[in-house]
A and B are shown apart, each in its own frame.
Chain A
Amino acid sequence: MAYKSFNQNKFETFKQSMFFGENVNVSRYDRQKYPVFEQLIEKQLSFFWRPEEVDLSSDRKDFAELPAHEQHIFLSNLKYQTLLDSVQGRSPNMAFLPLVSLPEVETWIETWAFSETIHSRSYTHIIRNILPEPGVVFDDIINNPQIVARAEAVSQHYDDLILYGQLYAAGGEGSYQLPAQNLSEQSAETEVTLSDLKRKLYLTLVSVNVLEAIRFYVSFACSFAFAERATMEGNAKIIKLIARDEALHLTGTQHMLNLLASGQDDPEMAEIAKELQPQVIEIFKQAAEQEKEWAEYLFKDGSMIGLNADILGQYVEFITNERLQAVGLSPCFPNRQNPLPWMDSWLVSDNVQVAPQEAEISSYLVGAIDSDVDTNALAGFEL
């Protein structure tokens, strides 16, 4: 059962399931059981960017000019994102790597988590540029009750899976005596079974999908709403790069969830997915509610132009529905049109460019020629 850094068993590499098969030995990518993970890796590598490439000198001035309630919105979102990427930069590795059994899935997880560390570095870059003392922002992340409540929600499934995964790796299925969490508790006897571990894996993947597919988007919306007013544009440029990466990550977890639910990877997982469906929907719903509460907290001292807690709440419901459908579940909120249609134009990633000479911040383009071509202008052309 113990994890093997280089598994010397003889087994058929491409007949393993994604998880709980043999520990991966040779990192080989000449063939894949699931080529999509190789494509995800290639795509993620092609997206590589460095935070320092984005100039934030005008953001410093912009930030100083924001009213206090908007500074609160901006910094709170940064804190929340820093928390999310702190978790995402390590936990996929901690939780999933010991369980994974296909080389392309293993390397996708590592590539994915690495890109989250770039996001974390970019928050430091932003905070360093807009504040004289970055430490106060970081220190508040573990002290602010609103952020701490969110930390609990995003890490509980991970921690549960990691603990049970470690017990399973150390001694396989069986009964374990766990030390008490605090003085008032008795030590607890815990039963570890492979099928329970599979359940925990499935729920963790769902909670990660929710983290990347829903939780990030409230912050994204605020960042883009600032930039719609031509303020904090360097920040928006970084967030655009982050959003492009996140779109890829959520595709990754959607593939894992759908492959598991289909049973083609592991027939038992199809049953587990069916059995856990009510819990899965609850995770989505709860996250949506938590994000709506977060929006209330952001706007507690006042809204910002173009955005308030109500409309942000509607957007959360809209994307939650969309994410549910992507993993084969029914929407849980009333169907509605996208309440923030301008979000899509910020999330469009076919024009994401990093080199400043390729795409300057919009405020710099004074007097430039509008080179946008309406596709209708080409409607008359026949090939």
Chain B
Amino acid sequence: MSESSTALKIDTLFLAEAAADSTSKYAPTLLQQMEAEGVEVAYQCREGYCGRCRCKKLSGEVTYQSPPIAWVNPDEVLPCCCVAKTDVVIELT
């Protein structure tokens, strides 16, 4: 991540900054953003069907390029297949 990045990890929170163009197929997924910042997130399929990376979202908006197959509650996100539309705060466990 570049020097200008505002992404930060505060103990149990992770702030993912909005993707420049969240509709681009090259936009980094939330999971890629977290990995780039050195946050360890458990994952398995990276395609949205297993639900292993399911996280609680405290604020912000994400978008899915294709609808995830795994169940996602309204306050949760699947970082492996969503892109941050606005700055997003994720709770880390």
Using a CB–CB distance below 8 Å, which chain A residues touch chain B?
A: 35-36, 39-40, 43, 244, 247-248, 251, 254-255, 258, 326, 328, 335, 338, 344, 347-350, 375-376, 378-380, 382-383
Contact = CB atoms under 8 A, between A and B. Distances in A.
Secondary structure at the B interface, as helix, strand, loop or mixed, is: loop
Contacts of A255: 71
A379 B71 contact: no
Contacts of B54: 326
Contacts of B52: 247, 344, 347
B50 A247 contact: yes
Given A35-B67, A344-B44, A383-B26, A254 B49 contact: no
Nearest to B36: A379
A251 to B, nearest CB: 5
Contacts of A39: 67, 69
A32 to B, nearest CB: 12
Contacts of B26: 383
B32 A375 contact: yes
A344 B20 CA distance: 31
Contacts of B2: 380, 382
Given A326-B71, A349-B44, A380-B2, A251 B36 contact: no
A338 B69 CA distance: 24
Contacts of A347: 44, 52
A37 to B, nearest CB: 10
The interface residues of chain A, by DSSP majority, are classed as helix
A344 B80 CA distance: 15
B71 A350 contact: no
**Closest CB pairs A-B (n = 5):** A247-B50, A375-B35, A350-B46, A254-B71, A347-B44
B69 A375 contact: no
Contacts of B35: 375-376
Nearest to B1: A379
Interface of B: 1-2, 20, 26, 28, 32, 35-36, 38, 42-47, 49-52, 54, 67, 69-71, 73, 93
A40 B36 CA distance: 30
Contacts of B67: 35-36, 39
B71 A349 contact: no
Contacts of B51: 247, 251, 254, 326
B45 to A, nearest CB: 5
Contacts of A344: 42-44, 52
B16 to A, nearest CB: 14
Contacts of A40: 49, 69
B71 to A, nearest CB: 5
14 contacts: A39-B67, A247-B49, A248-B69, A251-B49, A251-B50, A254-B51, A258-B71, A338-B42, A348-B44, A349-B44, A350-B47, A376-B38, A379-B1, A383-B26
A350 B45 contact: yes
Contact of A43 (B28, B32, B69, B71): B69
Contacts of B45: 244, 247, 348-350
A255 B26 CA distance: 29
